Amino acid sequence: MGVAKPLVARPLRPFVDLLPVPPRRVITSPSRLAIPLVSTTHRFHSDLPPSRVWAYDGHLPGPTIEVDCGIQVEVQWENRLSGRLPVIDIRSPMHEADGVPVQCMPGRSGGAPNPAAAAISGYAVVHLHGAVTQATSDGWTENLIAPGQQALDTYQNDQRAALLWYHDHVMGITRFNLYAGLAGLWIVREARERELELPEGPPYEVPLLLADRNFDLAADGSLTGELLHKTDPDVMECFSPFTTVNGVIWPRVDVEPTTYRFRVLNGSNARTYRLVLTRDGLPDHERITQIGSDGGLLVAPVPIPAQGLVLASAERADILIDFSDLPVGSELTLWNNASAPFNGASADPSGAGTPDLEGLLPYPEVLLFRVVDGRRAGWRPPAVLATDFKRADREQLKGCVVRAIALVEQESSGPGPSMLTMRELAEVAAADEPVLTLIEAVAGQEDHVSRWRTVATRFEDKTNFFPMLGVPEIWRLVNLTGDTHPIHVHLESFQVLSRQSATVEVPEGGITDTGTSARVWIGREVDDGVPHALDENELGLKDTVRVNPHEVVDLLVRFDAYAGRYMYHCHILEHEDHDMMRPFVVMPPELMPFM
């Protein structure tokens, strides 16, 4: 059995609990569901006492909703939450204790509970992430339902087959409500997938919802089971030591010697996963094929990247793993090989299973596969998967509206970590004010230089983005920070057009409350250990994209279905809750003259 040698004592046994599968609700005709949000208990590991949690329908994760494309489902979200937040929020006064980063460790590490978090009652709002929905059912962050209230949302499911997920989205406390357990899966299916004869449903299609968690300690040093959301003076994100899969820490799953389809979601607050599969201590990625991402099937199957499958918060992967050549009794281990905070840097997959305290990864275990007797049959997907999608030609996008967003980090004026925000920018001709200057190399021509002033920095600032229905736009994300940010756009999926390295020069005082001054050379080679290029598995439709440090990522965004007010934001929940989120309004073209 693959078990890493810990650098700090492992308080729980790995791979002793079987992987649970969330209950399914298969919808075959237009329906109305009632899903309650309840306060309950959940056992994350057989060696742990039950934990207080908030959960959809009493399950963690919530029930998986499966519905065919085009079948409308109404969900009445019934808020039956009682009591206060079942999570202890702590900011430790120190980053390290005895040379070990405190976020790697269970317990409070000298921190006192945050009284503001302790006073939170069960206000909620539900967002179906990845769904094409009317604005009134998108889960606007300020449209709260209190305990005892309910909300009726309508989901048309008129979109490509894909793995979606529903989760809480309350303004300012999304990080706490998700950590408490408010998340579940939603699968849209369609005829094209069935024609491909992909595994559908149990036992050969298995959802995997990954999320890291931490727990408080009793006076004797044992784990109490009480959920602990812990940060420290240097790191605002919560990186917890224990990886759960479908709500259980380090489970194992028995597989027959055949091909399985795994629908993988990173549902963590902040932690990025680089998943590495090993057999007998060596990487064994050749048996993995990726067939889909956030927005559904890829055009063709692709291998996962050689270094491992990277999933930031909210990213999904649809993968096939072929166990057909393995004898009964074989064991394969899935590890996390990504340090935190993640910055996109390369990692050697042969080091998978090695704890990394500096990278806030004391326990890299994720999941154990054990081959048992059963059907022995290999299966390969067809060479062509999606026929309803093709990559855009950049030449055909000339003349599109270009919107620029800078991801910036501003030093805190007091104690605590820096403030992270998204700065919306507007192009200006002159540089008579603080501007972000983009210098882009153009083959055979002079560099293209553009200057952009800051027009919004906080969520409640004036709305500036009014994309028109059916009109493509390019959204340019410029990362001036030292961390990778997964950026999520509500309403529709997008194409990632390009990922380019950038040299960034920020003068002293260049980031202020209202302005952003920097010079960014796009496309320059940078020796930073980060592969600045699109992976093959990023060439399909996405709704969440990683933007690495000192990188410029261009998205092709087009909203065809609905007009209304939506959001885009960083999906690191501690960033989202601290104002790394902005609104946009999709408008019918005929109304634009009146704006």
Does residue 576 form part of some domain?
yes
Cα separation, 481 vs 550, in Å, equals: 7
| pLDDT of 265 higher than 90 | yes
Question: Do residues 120 and 237 share a domain?
Answer: yes
The SS3 of residue 559 is coil
| Amino acid 418: pLDDT | 77
Q: Per the domain annotation, does 17 fall within a domain? A: no
398 and 307 belong to one structural domain: no
Residue 388 domain flag: no
In a domain, 443, yes or no: yes
CATH code where residue 419 lies = 2.60.40.420
Task: Tell me, yes or no, whether 175 and 89 share the same domain.
Answer: yes
- The reply to whether 333 and 400 lie within a common domain is no
Q: Does residue 218 or residue 446 have the better pLDDT?
A: 218
pLDDT attached to residue 437: 93
Confidence grade of residue 445 (pLDDT, cut at 50, 70, 90): confident
Beta partners for 97?
A: 100
For residue 8, the model assigns a pLDDT of 66
Reduced to 3 DSSP states, what percent helix, strand and coil does the chain have, rounded to the nearest 5? Answer: 5, 45, 50
Is 380 within the bounds of a domain? no
Q: Concatenated DSSP letters for 367-414?
A: EEEEE-SS--B-----S---SS--PPPGGGGTT-EEEEEEEEEE--SS
Residue 418 within any structural domain of the chain? yes
Is 2 a residue whose pLDDT tops 60?
A: no
Residues 284 and 421 occupy one common structural domain: no
Q: Are residues 344 and 489 in the same domain?
A: no
Q: Tell me, what's the pLDDT at 538?
A: 97
Domains in the chain, number: 2
Under the banding of pLDDT at 50, 70 and 90, the label for residue 7 is low
Kindly report the backbone phi and psi dihedral angles of residue 375, in degrees, each rounded to the nearest multiple of 5, phi listed first. -65, 130
Q: Are residues 256 and 316 in the same domain?
A: yes
| 555 close to 475: Cβ distance less than 8 angstroms | yes
β-strand partners of 264: 208, 317
Query: Residue 307 is part of which domain span?
Result: 24-371
Q: Say what the pTM is.
A: 0.96
The residue-averaged pLDDT of 200-222 equals 97
Is 383 within the bounds of a domain? no
300 neighbors 383 (Cβ within 8 angstroms): yes
Q: Does position 542 have pLDDT exceeding 80, yes or no? A: yes
State mean pLDDT over 93-106: 88
Q: Please tell me whether residues 273 and 140 are part of one structural domain.
A: yes
Residue 381 lies in a domain: no
Give the per-residue pLDDT at 3.
Answer: 57
Residue 457 has pLDDT above 80, yes or no: yes
User: What is the band of 396 on the pLDDT scale with cuts at 50, 70, 90?
Assistant: confident
136-161 pLDDT tens trace? 999 999 999 999 999 999 999 999 99
Mean pLDDT along residues 436-454: 86
| Domain termination residue (choose one: 371, 402, 430) | 371
For residues 408 and 349, membership in a common domain is answered with no
Instruction: Please check whether residues 161 and 117 belong to one and the same domain.
Output: yes
Spatial separation of the C-alpha atoms in residues 113 and 90, rounded to whole Å: 5
Do 138 and 284 lie in a common domain?
yes
Q: Is 490 exposed, middle or buried (0-12, 13-18, 19+ CB in 10 A)?
A: buried
Same domain as 286, residue 411: no
Express as a percent the part of the chain with pLDDT over 70: 97
- pLDDT confidence of residue 522: 94
Over range 300-323, report the average pLDDT: 98
Q: Which segments of 267-373 are extended strands (E)?
A: 273-279, 282-283, 288-293, 296-303, 309-311, 316-322, 331-336, 365-371
Q: What is the predicted pLDDT for the residue at 144?
A: 98
Dig out the tokens for 389 from the structure.
Answer: 């999608």
Q: What is the mean pLDDT of the chain?
A: 94
Q: How far apart are CA 257 and CA 324, in angstroms?
A: 4
- DSSP designation for 571: S
- How sure is the predictor about 174, in pLDDT bands with cuts at 50, 70 and 90? very high
Chosen domain end from 337, 371, 405? 371
